[in-house]
Chains A and B, each alone.
Chain A
């Protein structure tokens, strides 16, 4: 095995790293309230930070970095998937705004694979410029892990489809412009063979939303209702009734691009620094053997998350689909996200439960947030159980029952 970057990759790494150091405030890492492998996303406490965020994203777009691994004719830089992985790693390590994301990590790459030239011409430039954003319209009240059971129905009316049904756990739907949605288009076919993918405009008449407050007290989720919502037929993405299979590919991208592998290293470093500089019951925290062992274990598993992350990029560059491998990455990283919170809580003792930043609160109250936030990690984008099914059935060839 050879884990070195090529000269070109290394120079991109250095250029990006320098850019991040230069363009983000020195204490930026302390601004976003992000737990490793965060799904919910309520990242800023201070509204001023949101201005910094917007200005920074503009600079990224100007450099063409939002879409670096896309082909040049679509506004990308034509970089390799390892370079995309370097980008995701560095951006997430610096907790930089717009690292990864649904538009650049899922919808864009999927449109480049299965969209028609007209669809690509229509959507790709607006995604690349950061002009439009998406939410994922997958789960429904009766279709969670069993995604093939979606009941929202799109009736084919020739030049348009008419949608009726409901989505739930729709993260960020209220902040986004469009949905990347799976719906049923054939009720007679077997369930996985009657679904299709659509791009649906939030502003479509007949679409309404109800906020759902999450475990952290934040508005991240929504329930979204479709009542006779008309969607033009050119918004059908990929082949009609093949949506479930397209979606399986999209889920691979999701499991890779949303991992935010650098956030793990960032928090580990913060926790190590805290332990190095803190006393507990009159003795240095770093001298407690169990604390040393726990941190060593976390650090080792962060390194493994990196390996499994690089592997997906390396496979994509070799033209292979990292399907089972993205599940392995997802299950490993999300369980680490949970264990990291639990371990940090154990190390911090009573101080770990503090929920607001104060002089008594270590690590910006990140740990209490992570303790709750990481509950979502092993559930969203396919539960750990679903990932293990994928690994066992598609990876090891065990029978589907």
Chain B
């Protein structure tokens, strides 16, 4: 049992924090809000130069062959910095999906490019009237010559306007699921921004008679279900790591503020009302960290992880918002101002808590895992 980081992970954490402090200050997060290029490309290139895009890609595809636990270290640092770039969708979701598939040609053509940071890819899953899940997919993939013709509408597609590929889930004629990489440059694709609370450049993406070559199929039928469930686990624990990073920052900022801010002639951190809020935040952050660590470890080791992942995502989704709101409460009025960073974290955890299954979605999964 080792509830800390190993040596390589400590080095990775240290370098990630330093890089993000210098290259991703909150001023960049703010300016990215109106970035017409969808996200800061210089930052993206810098992350690629750090080797972050290749971290979890197999060595045989020019990656570093790191584990999900290694990736969690990076995601936590990114959560702490409210990273305004499509790393999660590109690496954690899309590259993982391609890597998990048995489509050798696709792996050979895409994985080295993912590893080099040359690709941006994003998940196109949720549809009008649906929330997260794979049960009611209406987008169709009809078999045609050399591939499929895709029709449908996807919502909440992050960074769609900067993406090279859409990792898309559709339904085939036999009612099976099909997972594929659709090139964003294909004809018949239109995307419209859907402004959201966390500035993550979400879009509505319409596929109209979009031709997709069979070579771009990641998984089909039963394979697709298995792959999507695995992807759900990886994404859910990844989002937990992001939230842990964000609420650790909230806690650190808040404790510092409680020591510095003086009212009634003393630091407000000396008042028990403030101390107990801070203690509750600290216990929540610790609980979130270890539960996330447990779920990540199980997924990373290929152990049965359904229950732990659902526990982590349901719990962290709820407490992250609780911690962020206490951060606001203790900071008082300044936290309600755009110029102050606290709201960036509130927005981040709000979005992460909804992504890849919210608290209720995962609580129901826990109930099923308990045999109910």
Contacts and interface: CB of A to CB of B under 8 A. Distances in A.
B270 interface: yes
B314 A296 contact: yes
Interface string A265-287: 00000001001100000000010
A1 B4 contact: yes
Contacts of A399: 259, 266-267, 269-270
Contacts of A275: 372
B367 A296 contact: yes
The list of the 5 closest CB pairs from A to B, nearest first, reads A392-B275, A1-B293, A296-B366, A307-B290, A388-B279
Interface of A: 1-6, 9, 82, 272, 275-276, 286, 291-293, 295-297, 299-301, 303-304, 307-308, 310-311, 313-314, 328, 331-332, 385, 387-389, 391-393, 395-401
A297 B360 CA distance: 10
B294 interface: yes
A313 B275 CA distance: 26
Interface in B234-281: 255, 258-259, 266-267, 269-272, 274-276, 278-280
Contacts of B279: 331, 387-389, 391-392, 395-396
Given A303-B308, A389-B275, A296 B269 contact: no
Contacts of B308: 303
A4 B1 contact: yes
A272 B372 contact: yes
B266 to A, nearest CB: 7
A396 B276 CA distance: 11
Contacts of A276: 371-372
B371 A272 contact: yes
A396 B278 CA distance: 8
Contact of B3 (A311, A385, A400): A311
B370 A82 contact: no
Contacts, number: 146
Max chain A C-beta neighbours (<10 A), residue from B267, B269, B314 = B269
B319 to A, nearest CB: 10
B199 interface: no
A387 B314 CA distance: 26
Contact of A295 (B280, B315, B370): B370
A296 B286 CA distance: 20
A332 B272 CA distance: 18
SS class of chain B's interface: helix, strand, loop or mixed? helix
Dominant secondary structure of chain A at its interface with chain B: helix
A334 to B, nearest CB: 12
A385 to B, nearest CB: 7
Nearest to A305: B287
A1 B272 contact: no
A400 B274 CA distance: 12
A3 B372 contact: no
Contact of A1 (B69, B266, B282): B69
A286 B5 CA distance: 40
Contact of A398 (B4, B278, B360, B372): B278
B367 A293 contact: yes
B371 A388 contact: no
B333 to A, nearest CB: 21
Given A1-B296, A310-B3, A396-B279, 12 more contacts: A1-B3, A1-B290, A2-B3, A292-B372, A293-B363, A295-B367, A295-B370, A304-B291, A328-B286, A393-B275, A398-B278, A399-B270
Contacts of B283: 328, 331-332, 391
Interface string B45-74: 000000000000000000000000100000
A307 B315 CA distance: 14
Contacts of B1: 2-6, 9, 82, 310, 313-314
18 contacts: A1-B2, A1-B290, A3-B293, A3-B298, A275-B372, A292-B363, A297-B314, A301-B315, A304-B290, A311-B290, A314-B3, A328-B282, A332-B287, A392-B276, A392-B282, A399-B269, A401-B266, A401-B271
Contacts of A1: 2-5, 69, 290, 293-294, 296-297
B342 interface: no
Contacts of B298: 3
A268 to B, nearest CB: 8
Nearest to B288: A304
A272 B307 CA distance: 15
B311 interface: yes
Given A392-B276, A399-B269, A300 B3 contact: no
Contacts of B371: 272, 276
B290 A272 contact: no
Most buried by A among B290, B308, B360: B290
A396 B267 contact: no
Nearest to A291: B372
A4 B297 CA distance: 9
Nearest to A293: B363
B367 A292 contact: yes
Nearest to B258: A398
B359 to A, nearest CB: 9
A83 to B, nearest CB: 11
B110 to A, nearest CB: 31
A275 B267 CA distance: 50
A4 B294 CA distance: 10
B14 interface: no
B3 A392 contact: no
Nearest to B280: A388
B297 A2 contact: yes
A36 B239 CA distance: 32
Interface string B159-201: 0000000000000000000000000000000000000000000
